[in-house]
Amino acid sequence: MQARYQPGNALTVSPEVLTAVAYLEERAKHRAKKGVAAHSRWAVYRALIDCAKRHGYMYKGRDVAVRISVRRLALDAGLGKTATQDALTALEASGLVYRASKGNGPVPGALALRLPDTDVTGTFVPPPSPLLLYRPRQC
């Protein structure tokens, strides 16, 4: 049977990816990790960084993207699927991570780790005021 893909070395990660990941890891260590679910966010972020070290690639010239399923991410981060989704939503809201591409059939989508510069101030800390779950009644 003929192989579907050309043989290659999937473990090769470019040096610029490794440099970017090392920078991200160093920056992330100093971010605050207090409050509800902050450690879950940190676990998801760290799982993404570990994944990027193994098979990350440059995206849009400066960010690092990884192709990983939410299920795999959940296992790597030691969380359930829902908690992982919530953590990803929070990380996206804080500007640390964004979705680079959607999944297609059995192929998972890609998540990109944004290289923080001036426009990212995200932490792993939840917002100071609780989210508005219901709209207050108008008088």
Partner 1 sequence: MLEALYRLRHGQGRIGKSKAAVLEAVVECPGASRSELAATLGKKPDSLSRPLKELVERGLIERSRKGRYWLTNNWQDALDRERTLTGEKLSARLDEQGYVREREAYRLYLAEKEESSEG
Minimum distance of partner 1 from residue 46's CB (angstroms)? 6
Residue 47 vs 64, nearer CB to partner 1: 47
Residue ranges binding partner 1 (CB under 8 A)? 32-34, 39-40, 42-43, 46-47, 50, 71, 74-81, 83, 105-106
Residue 18 vs 83, nearer CB to partner 1: 83
Minimum distance of partner 1 from residue 60's CB (angstroms)? 28
Q: Are 33 and 58 in contact (CB under 8 A)?
A: no
E strand segments, the chain: 57-59, 63-67, 97-101, 110-113
Q: How many CB atoms lie within 10 A of CB 58?
A: 14
CA distance 126 to 124: 6
Minimum distance of partner 1 from residue 83's CB (angstroms)? 8
Minimum distance of partner 1 from residue 44's CB (angstroms)? 10
Residue 50 vs 58, nearer CB to partner 1: 50
CA distance 135 to 129: 15
